[in-house]
Amino acid sequence: MTLVARLIAVLGTVALLASGPLPATAQQVTLRVHQFLPARAPVPSNFIAPWAKKVEADSKGRIKVELYPSMQLGGTPPQLFDQVKDGVVDVVWTLPGYTPGRFPRSEAFELPFIAGNGEQTSQAAWEYYQKHLKDELKDVHIIAVHTHGPGLLHVKGNGVRKLEDMKGLKLRGPSRQVNKLLETLGATPVGMPVPAMPDALSKGVIDGTVVPWEVTLPLRVAELVNTHTSFSGNRSLYVSIFVFAMNKAKYASLPPDLKQVIDANSGPSTSQWVGRVMDQGDAPGLAAAKKRGNAIVVLDARETARWKAVAQQVTDAWIAEMKARGIDGQALVDDARKLIAKHAGPAD
């Protein structure tokens, strides 16, 4: 080989080495995130979209995140968990409660009058997941576990001002335990995912619904009901538990440094973040209802105590059901309450 040829070969090697990292390190990854709410709703706009931008920035553009709100990739909200488990999509935000009975241990957080606000309870939910839900959710890679803020009643007409007003109402509920609660309190529960709720309200299929304030604004609930009923004290009627989850094979396929990017945007602080977003989303929903002149009812401590006494039947029945399934439900309830009290303070 001539001197010139050797020089060309050496320069070519130097150029190759200087051109950047090896292909495996420079791997480009696209994550498709699928969920059921409109893009403008609080969680998609104030958590999922910022989370996506942060992941893209932290990966220096090597991870691209595509957002698909309102079930744009097909299917129904109850199918989201299996979509991410099976690799149809890469990441989902969904409720375990949309598949009744499939994730029994997660239901402890959906029992009545157990939860604080979204940020408080979401911190507890992540710790509860670490202790009790890893096996139940082993088919996916968990990024965050959280809850929304206090759930309350949104009802047409004169609404709910005492326990007896629940009798005969057809109310939409989000999950198995919340539906049992509504039934125990005297209403007729109608299970449906939240996107179906406005149409059901407008057509008179249901008389009202239970959701937190934050989802009422994007779904225009205040325009479809007249009365909103919440409760005294620092524990809410109910909350739903959510997961932000990634396909396990997709996560496993990432090079180590990109796994670190996902890991750095997962866990307790991420769970707290989305819980806080849900709390912050409550204020605009409440303001919209007040602007329309809807009745805002807060049941006093004495009336709230009546509801708690009846609702205890739901907790007792769940504990008994778990025992029949070989699960120590009482221990789970006790631990859930302990973890929530750690972040929300003692129940009052």
**Residue 101 confidence (pLDDT) above 50:** yes
Closest to 262 (Cα-Cα) out of 76, 33, 68: 33
Query: pLDDT (tens digit, 9 = 90+) per residue, 134-156?
Result: 999 999 999 999 999 999 999 99
Distance CA 233, CA 248 (A): 40
Q: What is the pLDDT at residue 5?
A: 46
Query: pLDDT (tens digit, 9 = 90+) per residue, 156-191?
Result: 999 999 999 999 999 999 999 999 999 999 999 999
Q: What is the pLDDT at residue 120?
A: 97
Q: What is the DSSP string of 93-115?
A: EE-GGGSTTSSGGGGGGGSTT--
Give yes or no for a contact between 340 and 124, defined as CB atoms under 8 angstroms apart. Answer: yes
Backbone angles phi, psi at 115, to 5 degrees: -105, 155
pLDDT band per the 50, 70, 90 thresholds, residue 25: very low
Residues facing 26 on adjacent strands? none
Q: Residue type at 125?
A: A
- C-alpha separations of 158 from 18, 188, 229, 295, 329 in Å: 73, 17, 11, 8, 37
Query: pLDDT (tens digit, 9 = 90+) per residue, 263-304?
Result: 999 999 999 999 999 999 999 999 999 999 999 999 999 999
Q: What is the pLDDT at residue 24?
A: 42
**Residue 92 confidence (pLDDT) above 70:** yes
**Residue 13 confidence (pLDDT) above 90:** no
**Residue 240 confidence (pLDDT) above 60:** yes
Share of the chain above pLDDT 90, in %: 91
Q: What is the mean pLDDT of residues 7-19?
A: 43
Give the range among 2-16, 74-88, 315-329 with minimum mean pLDDT.
2-16
Q: What is the mean pLDDT of residues 115-120?
A: 97
Q: What is the pLDDT at residue 245?
A: 98
Q: What is the pLDDT at residue 21?
A: 46
For residue 28, what are its two tokens?
Answer: 């480009």
Distance CA 145, CA 245 (A): 9
Q: What is the pLDDT at residue 104?
A: 97
Angle between helices 176-184 and 301-324 (to 10 degrees): 130
Distance CA 85, CA 70 (A): 19
Per DSSP (E only), the strands in the chain are: 29-34, 63-68, 91-94, 140-147, 151-155, 170-173, 188-191, 208-212, 227-231, 241-247, 295-299
The DSSP letter of residue 218 is T
**What is the rounded average pLDDT for all residues in the chain?**
93
Closest to 149 (Cα-Cα) out of 173, 118, 119, 178: 118
Query: pLDDT (tens digit, 9 = 90+) per residue, 322-346?
Result: 999 999 999 999 999 999 999 999 9
**Residue 12 confidence (pLDDT) above 90:** no
Give yes or no for a contact between 112 and 304, defined as CB atoms under 8 angstroms apart. Answer: no
Q: What is the pTM of this model?
A: 0.90
Give yes or no for a contact between 288 and 280, defined as CB atoms under 8 angstroms apart. Answer: no
Angle at CA 335, nearest 5°, toward 117 and 277?
20
For residue 274, what are its two tokens?
Answer: 């989305």
* Strands 151-155 vs 227-231: parallel, antiparallel or unpaired: antiparallel
Distance CA 56, CA 299 (A): 46
Distance CA 324, CA 104 (A): 12
Q: What is the pLDDT at residue 26?
A: 60
Q: What is the pLDDT at residue 36?
A: 96
**Residue 37 confidence (pLDDT) above 50:** yes
Structural domains present in the chain: 29-149+240-281 (3.40.190.170), 151-238+288-344 (3.40.190.170)
Q: For the chain, what is the radius of gyration of the CA atoms?
A: 24
Give yes or no for a contact between 64 and 30, defined as CB atoms under 8 angstroms apart. Answer: yes
- Other beta carbons less than 10 A from residue 76's beta carbon: 13
**Residue 20 confidence (pLDDT) above 50:** no
